[in-house]
Amino acid sequence: MATESSILAGLEPRAFWRNFEALTRIARPSRHEEPVIEHVRRWAEEHGLELRQDEGRNLVIQVPATPGRENAPTITLQGHLDIVCERDPTSPNDPAEGRIVLVRNGEWLTADGTTLGADDGVAIAAMMALVEDESLAHGRLELLMTVAEEVGLEGANALDPSLVGGSILVNLDSEEDGKLTVGCAGSTDTWIRIEARRESVDDGAVSLTVTVSGGQGGHSGMGIALGRSNAVKVLGRVLRETSHAVPLRLVSFEGGKSRNAIPRDATAVCSIAAGDEEAFRGAVGKATETIRDAFSTTDPALTITVDGAETRVDPWGAEATAKLLDAVALVPTGPLAMSQDFDDLVETSTSLGEALTEGDRLTLHSLSRSSNDSALPEVIATLDAAARLAGGELEVKVNYGGWRPKLDSPALAAAKTVYERLFGEPPIVTAVHAGLETAVIGSKVHGLDMLSFGPQIEFPHSPDERVSIPTVERFWRLLVAFLDESSAETT
């Protein structure tokens, strides 16, 4: 057992912080969780607990009920073993090698130059502390520890559902104190692929690069309703508007780095006739003015530039260019429907995340999300129609269904009661417009009553990651009281 360092001395709950600190010395990058799996395996053995592992390497540990609570429903507690291992390039510390140095800054705990791993070390430490604290009362528990959450929920996707026997699942991977999360979005990837013929150019044709940059971007789900510019869409728009004044033919069209983020950069190479360069630059400038004005509140640093380009590749023909720009215009991006259960929450959205030119082909990759599985087919149909109108094809990959909020859930009712009793005010009940492991697990294990909460964690996935110490204690008290409440009635 790890000894308590002076930094965490005196912090409550002691068993939680002891386990949290021990985890900071164990390497646990996504897909390379073996050291932490070994750590948990040894711990389970020491405590005489049965541990099972599925082919996806996820762990499930069975914890017997405390005396008198044997008839209570089994509760599955869930969190992920892996952490994001970011570091400042100059830092001597490295989470990927199990070197996280804790720093206490008033009420915050952070790490020196690296991610802290509170996302989701908090969940694993809490599960271990629950077992070690013999003063607690709870029914039978299942500790579900997944791997590779941070790389597209891989572990949850590979989960063997027969390992989960609980009727209630509490996910411990939320990052906002005072909130109970009861829903999230499912997602579907699509790729529109359009093949078009390239044609040679007349003598003296000029190649120019148009570049869009300076937008704020952000998470393509959580940030989709912030009104920020999408660099791929902006590039499409500026070229369309320019083409009304000066004929242009596309050589290439690229933008976005990840389907999960709103694109901040996009670049097109255009071919124009000799002598059109000045008019082209003028037309781009004119279009830029209107577009910058459209985003003056949300993206004041949006920039569009024209530079000389050198290319030996023939551009697409004039007709093909018009079709490709039509396709970019037709692909929707942004929120499509708001939640009827929660204020200011997007229910359905789609984000054009990447544009890619390969040979004669343009690919437009979107990620569409909804907590309402019945809403997504219409979005996919729109993308399919855009593809066909542009003479292309659509590939669809359904990732996982949404976690649709059930506001009459018994687990939610119990958590609300307990929260109010402990803290004297009601919790905020909400859902997120992003994917959580609960969506994946819920679509594999039917009828699970699910809920998610956690302490306040800020700037996760970055070296600024920090967890609020007082909210850890609040999180712990809520968890302990919830487990007591959910097992008390049947005794």
Nearer to Zn ion, 115 or 252 (CB): 115
Judged by CB under 5 A, the stretch of 43-51, 112-120, 409-417, 420-428 that binds Zn ion is 112-120
Nearer to Zn ion, 119 or 354 (CB): 119
Please give the positions annotated as active site: 82, 149
CB of 477 to Zn ion, least distance (A): 21
Q: Is the peptide bond before 120 cis (omega within 30 degrees of 0)?
A: yes
The string of DSSP letters for 182-220 reads EEE-EEEEEEEEEE--B----TT-EEEEEEEE-----BT
For Zn ion, what does the binding mask look like between residues 422 and 451, x meaning CB under 5 A?
A: ------------------------------
Nearer to Zn ion, 119 or 299 (CB): 119
If binding means CB under 5 A, how many residues of this protein chain bind Zn ion? 3
CB of 80 to Zn ion, least distance (A): 6
Are the CB atoms for 35 and 57 separated by under 8 Å? no
CB of 119 to Zn ion, least distance (A): 4
| Residues 16-45 within binding reach of Zn ion (CB under 5 A) | none
CB of 29 to Zn ion, least distance (A): 13
Nearer to Zn ion, 119 or 154 (CB): 119
- List, in order, residues 6 or more apart from 8 with CB less than 8 Å away: 17, 18, 20, 21, 102, 104, 109
Compute the distance between CA of residue 204 and CA of residue 227 in angstroms, rounded to an integer.
Answer: 41
| Residues 168-207 within binding reach of Zn ion (CB under 5 A) | 173
CB of 154 to Zn ion, least distance (A): 13
Nearer to Zn ion, 79 or 335 (CB): 79
Helix axes 34-46, 118-132, angle to 10 degrees: 10
Q: Could you tell me which residues are beta bridge partners of residue 450? A: 169
Is residue 82 a contact residue for Zn ion (CB under 5 A)?
no
Q: Is the peptide bond before 29 cis (omega within 30 degrees of 0)?
A: no
Which residue's entry shows tokens 């010395």?
25
Compute the distance between CA of residue 256 and CA of residue 264 in angstroms, rounded to an integer.
Answer: 6
Near Zn ion by CB under 5 A: residue from 21, 82, 119, 177: 119
Which residue's entry shows tokens 């694993």?
124
Nearer to Zn ion, 218 or 317 (CB): 218
Q: Give the sheet arrangement for strand 141-146, strand by strand.
A: 50-53, 59-63, 141-146, 75-80, 168-171, 449-452, 179-184, 428-432
Judged by CB under 5 A, the stretch of 23-31, 111-119, 191-199, 462-470 that binds Zn ion is 111-119
Near Zn ion by CB under 5 A: residue from 33, 54, 120, 449: 120
Contacts to Zn ion by CB under 5 A: 119-120, 173
